[in-house]
Amino acid sequence: MSPLFNTDNVIDALRKVLPTERKISLHEPHFNGNEWTYVKECLDTGWVSSVGKYVDEFEFKLAEFTGAQKVVAVVNGTAALHIALKLLGVEQNDEVLLPALTFIATANAVQYCNAIPHFIDSEEKTLGIDPRKLSDYLNEVSLIKDGVCINKITGNRIKAVIAMHTFGHPVDLDPLIDVCQRYKLELIEDAAESLGSFYKKRHTGTFGKIATISFNGNKVITTGGGGAILTNDINLGKMAKHLTTTAKVAHKWEFFHDQIGYNYRLPNINAALGCAQLEQLPSFIEKKRKLALMYRAEFSGMDGISFFTEPEFARSNYWLNALVLDSENAIYRDELLEKTNNLGIMTRPAWTTMHKLPMFQNCPRMDLSTAESLESRLINIPSSSFLGD
C-alpha cells in the first residue's frame, strides 16, 4: 500500500460530492419531463403494445441525435446484439473477438448464434479494447485465406470484433478500424453504455457496420427495458426491422413469415417513455459531466487512487463513474466496497472477466493481464444525473 493511501480519505471525498441525507444508489432513472403525459396517452388510447406512433418517433429521434441513418428499437440491448451478429453473417463455430472485461450480454449474444467468444485484452487509457495489442496478437494467431481471417490454432473463421465502450468511454476506434480492415473483420459497436458519447466529435455507434444501445433502467436514458440497433446501411436496417418483428411480410390480414424471425419488438408504451427521456438527454449528460468534474476535483492528487477520465480524443457521457486503485492498493478494493455500501453509498466492482465464468473458461483468449488487473482495481461510484445538480 502506498504510505499515504487511506480508505477513509476516499470516503471523505465521496461525501463531499454526494448528498448525505439518504442512501445513494449507483445509477437511478430520473423522470422529470413528459413521461407521465406520453405513457398516459398510450393507456388512454390502448396503444400499449407493438403498434403505435411512439416506436417510430423514438427511432426517428434517436437517429437524429446519433447521426445514424437507420435505427430499429428492440426489447433490450442483448436482443440488439443478437440480431447485429446474425445480420453480419456470424454462424456456428465462427469466432467473435470481444473484450474479456465486459458485461455478460456481449458474450451471451455470441453464444446465441452458436458462435465462439474469443476474449481479448483492454487498455487502461479507455478501459476498452487495446487495438495495438490486438493487432500484434492477430499477427501471431491468424492468417488470411481467400479473404477470410482464420484462427491458425483452432481452424475456425474469425468473423467479427465487438467493441464495447466501457462505462460510456469510447474505444480508440481509428486504429481498431484499421485492424478490422487488415484482418477482414466486421466491426460491431456495443454502445449499450455510450449514448451521448463522442469519438472525435462523431457519436459512438456510427463507426462500425452496425451497433447496439441499451435503455435498461440504469442507463443514461431508459425505456424500462429496451435497446436499439444502429446502422448507416439502409438495407441492413430494413432487415433488422424485419427480423425483430417476427419476419412477417406486410399484409392487411394474412400471417406470412418468410424466414425465422424474432419477437424482439419494443412496445409502444416503452417507446413513449423513451421519447420523453430523449427530450431530456442533453441535460442529463450535462449534469453527469458536471458530477464527473466534481469527482475529479476531489480525487485530484489523492495518493494511491485516481478518478477515471475520458481519453483526450473523446467526449464521454460518464455513464458510470469509476475509481481506479493503484496496483499495490488493489487489496483494499473490497474494504472500500464494504465501507461505502455500509454507509449507504452504493458502489460496485467491475464485472468478473468473462474467461473466469464457468461457461466461458474454455474459450480462446489472448493474454488478458490488463483486463485482469483492471478488474481487481476498479470501483464504480454513484453516477445518477441528478447528482450533478
Fold designation for 7-29+280-352+377-388: Aspartate Aminotransferase, domain 1 (3.90.1150)
Strands (E), 316-355: 321-325, 348-349
CA–CA separation, 187 and 195 (whole Å): 18
pLDDT in tens, 161-172: 999 999 999 999
Q: Is the pLDDT of residue 2 over 70?
A: no
pLDDT in tens, 303-328: 999 999 999 999 999 999 999 999 99
Q: Is the pLDDT of residue 51 over 90?
A: no
**Cell 479507455 -> residue:** 126
DSSP single-letter state for residue 283:
H
pLDDT at 4: 77
- β-pairing, 148-151 vs 158-164, is unpaired
Please give the class, per CATH, of domain 35-279.
Answer: alpha beta
Q: At a CB cut-off of 8 Å and minimum separation 6, what does 23 contact?
A: 344, 345, 346
Structure confidence at residue 50 as a pLDDT band (50, 70, 90): confident
Number of residues in the chain: 389
What would the mean pLDDT of 50-57 be, rounded to a whole number? 92
Measured between alpha carbons, how far is residue 120 from residues 129, 133, 171, 314, 355 in Å? 7, 9, 13, 22, 10
pLDDT in tens, 340-386: 999 999 999 999 999 999 999 999 999 999 999 999 999 999 999 99
- β-pairing, 158-164 vs 95-99, is parallel
DSSP single-letter state for residue 147:
T
What would the mean pLDDT of 279-308 be, rounded to a whole number? 97
What one-letter code names the amino acid at 114?
Answer: N
pTM over 0.85: yes
Cell of 347: 458502489
- Every domain of the chain and the residues it spans: 7-29+280-352+377-388, 35-279
Measured between alpha carbons, how far is residue 54 from residues 50, 73, 276 in Å? 10, 11, 10
Cell of 112: 446465441
DSSP single-letter state for residue 212:
E
